[in-house]
Amino acid sequence: MRALSKLPFLPRFSKQTTTIYPKIYIGDDNKITADTLLHEYVHLADWKKIGLLFPILYLMPQIFALLAVAAIGGNLWWLLCLLFLLPIPSPTRAYLEWRAYRAEMIFEYVRTGQFGDIEHRIEQFISANYYFMFPFKKYIKSKFTEAANCARVELTGCLSEALAEAISSLNP
């Protein structure tokens, strides 16, 4: 985990709580909230489901810079692979983070009736925090809004159903 924190495209890795299956590493401040725990749990569950594909998808396309090692064989063109270290967007990392941030947002809604700071979540996708993994603010905002609307409708439906059941069970 600490070694990974040295990667240039994960600049804040050691400061944040993060997951490397099968463990969750608590950030430098040693604090973890239920929201963050759920976020990391989504990563754990995804990692468990798809195995080694998870870290590969997460680190794409920057992970392709490793191919530069092939230059040792004499063909220096492989060094061009180092260009993958540039902040090229990563739809795969963004998708895996999206699953976790969406769960966190819905959990907050269930807990408090509010979706929390959606702008802060959007910021994670477009900023250096995750190496500019998805710098398309409008799109990611529409996805969060869509998920929020969906949760509002679904959960209200589920809650009213549960309430109706509870009320009917009270009636003889």
Closest CB 40 distance from Zn ion, rounded Å? 7
With binding defined as CB under 5 A, does residue 147 bind Zn ion? no
- C-alpha span between 72 and 27 (Å, rounded): 37
- C-alpha span between 169 and 17 (Å, rounded): 44
Region from 53-61, 85-93, 97-105, 159-167 binding Zn ion, contact rule CB under 5 A? 97-105
Closest CB 85 distance from Zn ion, rounded Å? 21
Helices 137-170, 118-126: crossing angle, 10 deg rounding: 140
With binding defined as CB under 5 A, does residue 100 bind Zn ion? yes
Whole-Å CA distances, 80 to 61, 62, 65, 110, 172 = 13, 12, 8, 48, 75
Closest CB 43 distance from Zn ion, rounded Å? 5
Q: Nearer Cβ to Zn ion, position 40 or 68?
A: 40
Q: By three-state DSSP, how is residue 32 classified?
A: coil
Residue nearest to Zn ion (CB): 100
Q: Nearer Cβ to Zn ion, position 68 or 100?
A: 100
Q: Nearer Cβ to Zn ion, position 20 or 82?
A: 20
With binding defined as CB under 5 A, does residue 10 bind Zn ion? no
**What's CA 155's distance to the chain center, in Å?**
22
Q: In the window 24-53, what residues touch Zn ion (CB under 5 A)?
A: none
Return the number of other C-beta atoms located less than 10 Å from residue 65's C-beta: 20
The answer to whether 140 and 118 have CB atoms below 8 angstroms apart is: no
Q: Binding residues for Zn ion, per CB under 5 A?
A: 97, 100
